[in-house]
C-alpha cells in the first residue's frame, strides 16, 4: 500500500488510546484516593508496589518480544492495570501480593495472549481471582478503616513494616466485610434481621466507612467516576446499566420473596465493589463485546453471575469471578450477536421496503 497517499478519512477524532487510559485513570482517582486516606500509608505502599510491578513486567515482556517499549509503555494501559489491580486488593496486603498480582496481570493475562488488545480476560480481574484462589488468607484480611492522620493510623515506619513484613496483630485490626459477615452468619442459621443491625449501619457503610479492598468501600465515588466516564463518552452505558440493573432486579425479587434470607438491593449495590466492577472492570473494551446489544447481554450476564455467586456460590463476593467468566463468553457473544446491517434483515437478506402506495402524496 502507498503510505504517502493513504486513503480517506484525512481527519481524525481527538481521541487516542493514551487519552482513554488517562481519562479512566482520572475517573478512578477519587476512589483510589479515598481508599488511601481511609486505610493509610500501607495502602499507598501496596499501590506503588503493584503499579511498579506492572510497569516493569510490561517493559520486560515488550523488550523480550522485541517490540518497541516506549510507545506501548506510554499508552498508559499497564499503569491503569496496576492502579485498577491495586484498588481491588486488601489495603494492608503484603508487598509480594502486589508483585505477584502485577505479574499475573501483565505477563500471564495480557502479554502471553499477544499484548494489548489480544487478551481474553481483564488483566486486573484475572490477577485478583488468581490471587484469591492461591492466597485466601492474605486476600481476605479486611482492615477496619484506619484513616490517615487519625490516632489509629500507623505511622510511616509501621506502614513499611506492615507492607514488607506483615501485620503483627491481624485480629485486632481486621474483620469481615459486610457481605462476608452476612454469609457467615446466614450459615449459622441467623436471619438477616438479626445479622444486619449490629454490623451494617447503612448510612455510614454507604458513605464508604467500612472494611474492604482499597477501592471497594466508596461505591458513591466509583459511581461518580463512572458517570463522568459516560459523560466524556469514554465508556458506553450498556454494560454498567445492564449489570447494575440485573443485580438490583434479582436482589429485589428475592428479597421480596424472603427478606430474612436474601439481602436487600441496597446492600448489594453498595457493597462488594459492584460499582467499581460495573464501571471500571466490566467496561474494559478489550475483554467485553463490541456491539451495543452484545454489551447489554454481557452486562446482564455479569450482574446475574454476581448475584448468583454472592448468594449461592463459594465466595461472599462475586464481582471478579463474574467478570472473568463473562470475559470468557465475549468471543461467543461477539460471534453470535452482530448489528443488523442497513438494508438487510437480521438474517442478512436484502430487506424489502414497506413503501406507502405511490401517489399518496404525503409520503414522508
Partner 1 sequence: MKLFDFWGGVHPAGHKHLSADQPIRIMPPPARLQIPLQQHTGLPALPVVKVGESVCKGQLLARGQGAVSASVHAPTSGTISAIGDFTAPHVSGLPLPTITLDSDGEDRWLDREPLPDPFALVPEQIAVHIAEAGIVGMGGANFPAALKLNKARQAKVHTLAVNGAECEPYMTCDDRLMRERAAGIVDGVRLMLYALQAPQAVIAIEDNKPDAIISMTAACHGDPQIRVVVVPSRYPAGSAKQLIQLLTGLETPAGGRGTDTGVLVHNVGTAYAVHRALRQAHPLISRIVTISGGAVAEPQNLEAPIGALVEDLLGFCGGVNGEIAKLLMGGPMMGQPLPSRQTPMVKGTNGVLALTAAEAQLTTPSPCIRCGRCVDACPMGLMPLEMSKRARHDDLDGALAFGLIDCISCGSCAYACPSHIPLVQYFEYARGALEAQERAEQKSKETRRLLEQRQARLARAEQAKVEAAAKRLAEKQRAKAAKAGVGVAA
Q: For partner 1, which is the closer residue by CB, 257 or 363?
A: 363
DSSP-assigned beta bridge partners for residue 344:
350
307: helix, strand or coil = helix
Per-position DSSP letters for 284-302, written without gaps between them: -GGGS-SSHHHHHHHHHHH
Instruction: State yes or no: residue 157 binds partner 1 (CB under 8 A).
Output: no
| Residue number with CB closer to partner 1 (149 or 342) | 342
And the C-alpha cell for 105? 496481570
**CA 182/CA 195 separation, integer angstroms:** 7
Please name the residues in contact with 49: beta carbons below 8 A apart, sequence gap of 6 or more. 95, 98, 99, 163
Among positions 6-25, residues that touch partner 1 (CB under 8 A) are 6-13, 15-17, 19-20
Binding residues among 219-238 for partner 1 as defined by CB under 8 A: 236
Binding to partner 1 (CB under 8 A) within 303-342 occurs at 334, 338-342
By CB under 8 A, which span of 5-13, 139-147, 218-226, 258-266 interacts with partner 1?
Answer: 5-13
Q: Name which of 189 and 349 has its Cβ closer to partner 1.
A: 349
**Residue 110: CB minimum distance to partner 1, A:** 12
Q: Which of 109, 116, 35, 47 has its CA nearest to residue 76?
A: 116
Q: Determine if 155 is a binding residue for partner 1 (CB under 8 A).
A: no
Measured from the CB of residue 340, what is the shortest distance to partner 1 in angstroms?
Answer: 5
- Candidates 110-118, 140-148, 153-161, 209-217: pick the segment binding partner 1 (CB under 8 A): 110-118
Task: Give the cell for residue 312.
Answer: 449461592
> How far is Cα 55 from Cα 75, in angstroms, rounded to an integer?
11
Name the residue with cell 454489551: 295
The nearest distance, CB 30 to partner 1, in angstroms, is: 23
Instruction: From 139-147, 180-188, 265-273, 288-296, give the range in contact with partner 1 by CB under 8 A.
Output: 288-296
Which three cell numbers, joined as nine digits, stand for 89? 486488593
| Cβ nearer to partner 1, comparing 16 with 165 | 16
Binding mask 112-141 for partner 1 (x = CB under 8 A): ---xxxx-----------------------
Residue choice 61, 162, 274, 286 for contact with partner 1 (CB under 8 A):
286
Cell numbers for 274: 459492584
Please say whether the dihedral angle defined by the alpha carbons of residues 25, 29, 129 and 227, taken in this order, is positive or negative.
negative
Residue of 141, 159, 295, 311 that binds partner 1 (CB under 8 A): 295
Phi-psi domain of 149 (left: phi exceeds 0; alpha: psi -120 through 50; beta: other): left
251 touching partner 1, by CB under 8 A: no
User: Rounded to a whole number, what is the distance in angstroms from the first to the last CA of the chain?
Assistant: 44
Chain residues binding partner 1 by CB under 8 A are 1, 5-13, 15-17, 19-20, 71, 75, 115-118, 236, 285-292, 295, 334, 338-344, 349-356, 358-361, 363-364
Amino acid at each position: 500500500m502507498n503510505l504517502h497517499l493513504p486513503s480517506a478519512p484525512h481527519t481524525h477524532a481527538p481521541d487516542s488510546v493514551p487519552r482513554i487510559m488517562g481519562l479512566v485513570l482520572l475517573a478512578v482517582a477519587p476512589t483510589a484516593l479515598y481508599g488511601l486516606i481511609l486505610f493509610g500509608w500501607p495502602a499507598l505502599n501496596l499501590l506503588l508496589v503493584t503499579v511498579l510491578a506492572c510497569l516493569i513486567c510490561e517493559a520486560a515482556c515488550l523488550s523480550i518480544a522485541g517490540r518497541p517499549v516506549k510507545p506501548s509503555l506510554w499508552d498508559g494501559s499497564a499503569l491503569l492495570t496496576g492502579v485498577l489491580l491495586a484498588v481491588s486488593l486488601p489495603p494492608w496486603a503484603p508487598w509480594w501480593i502486589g508483585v505477584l498480582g502485577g505479574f499475573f496481570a501483565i505477563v500471564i493475562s495480557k502479554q502471553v495472549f499477544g499484548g494489548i488488545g489480544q487478551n481474553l480476560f481483564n488483566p486486573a480481574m484475572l490477577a485478583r481471582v488468581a490471587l484469591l484462589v492461591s492466597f485466601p488468607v492474605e486476600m481476605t484480611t479486611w482492615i477496619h478503616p484506619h484513616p490517615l492522620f487519625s490516632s489509629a493510623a500507623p505511622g510511616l515506619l509501621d506502614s513499611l513494616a506492615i507492607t514488607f513484613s506483615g501485620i503483627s496483630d491481624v485480629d485486632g485490626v481486621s474483620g469481615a466485610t459486610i457481605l462476608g459477615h452476612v454469609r457467615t452468619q446466614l450459615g449459622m442459621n441467623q436471619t438477616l434481621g438479626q445479622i444486619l443491625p449490629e454490623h451494617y449501619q447503612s448510612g455510614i457503610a454507604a458513605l464508604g466507612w467500612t472494611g474492604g479492598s482499597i477501592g471497594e468501600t466508596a461505591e458513591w465515588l466509583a459511581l461518580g467516576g463512572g458517570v463522568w466516564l459516560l459523560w466524556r463518552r469514554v465508556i458506553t452505558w450498556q454494560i454498567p446499566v445492564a449489570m447494575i440493573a440485573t443485580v438490583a432486579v434479582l436482589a429485589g425479587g428475592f428479597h421480596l420473596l424472603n427478606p430474612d434470607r436474601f439481602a436487600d438491593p441496597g446492600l448489594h449495590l453498595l457493597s462488594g465493589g459492584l460499582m467499581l466492577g460495573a464501571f471500571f472492570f466490566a467496561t474494559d473494551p478489550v475483554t467485553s463485546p463490541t456491539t451495543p446489544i452484545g454489551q447489554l447481554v454481557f452486562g446482564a450476564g455479569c450482574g446475574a453471575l454476581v448475584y448468583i455467586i454472592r448468594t449461592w456460590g463459594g465466595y461472599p463476593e462475586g464481582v471478579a469471578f463474574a467478570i472473568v467468566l463473562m470475559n470468557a463468553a465475549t468471543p461467543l457473544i461477539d460471534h453470535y450477536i452482530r448489528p443488523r446491517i442497513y438494508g438487510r434483515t437480521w438474517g442478512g437478506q436484502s430487506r424489502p421496503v414497506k413503501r406507502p402506495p405511490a401517489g399518496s402524496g404525503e409520503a414522508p
